[in-house]
Amino acid sequence: MAKLHFNYAAMNAGKSTTLLQASFNYHERGMETLAFTAEIDDRDEPGIIASRIGLRKDAILFSAETDLFQTVEEILASKPIACVFLDEAQFLAEAQVMQLAAIVDDLDIPVVCYGLRTDFRGRLFEGSARLLAIADELRELKTICRCGRKATMNLRIDEDGNAISSGEKIEIGGNERYIPLCRKHFYDAFEKGGSDLDK
């Protein structure tokens, strides 16, 4: 039976690397996969899932308007698909998560999503919240805080390395904008300021 999987983690936990390795495993056995990534994430070349260690794969870009079920169904008409992979799942709309569930339930194709659970204020992303609610399998990929504990939060910083507690929910960036931290060090970063964090 096909399942909807959600693999979530803080920044720099190797989500894209894990996705690329899993897709490679299918291809090594002669099976086709589809990969999606968010159009909004412009850190790398458009239409490419890239990992920090240099692995890369072509991907279909999705935006808020993309009907993921229809896209997969159209491609399925011309070739078999063994698995669908989706990177940057936090950027999905609730309706798109339900489209992924329909790919699993109606087309019997496994869907494996990778993304952040929470934003820079510790709030769930829309896509992540829906995946946490309905996915068949949940798995946390782990990375570590500077103290050695498991990092579960994403601290947004300014150019001087100071914590940012307000602003747009989505701001694309990598190591220069975000630091993975444990809960304690995340909240410690806002002791001086950060009054907007809990609004």
Catalytic residues: 88
Q: Which of 61, 57, 33 is nearest to 46 (CA)?
A: 61
CB 59 within 8 A of CB 46: no
Backbone angles phi, psi at 149, to 5 degrees: -75, 165
CB 4 within 8 A of CB 136: yes
CB 94 within 8 A of CB 127: yes
CA 161 to chain centre: 24
Helix (H) or strand (E) holding 62: strand 60-62
As a whole number of angstroms, the distance between CA 27 and CA 22 comes to: 9
As a whole number of angstroms, the distance between CA 171 and CA 139 comes to: 25
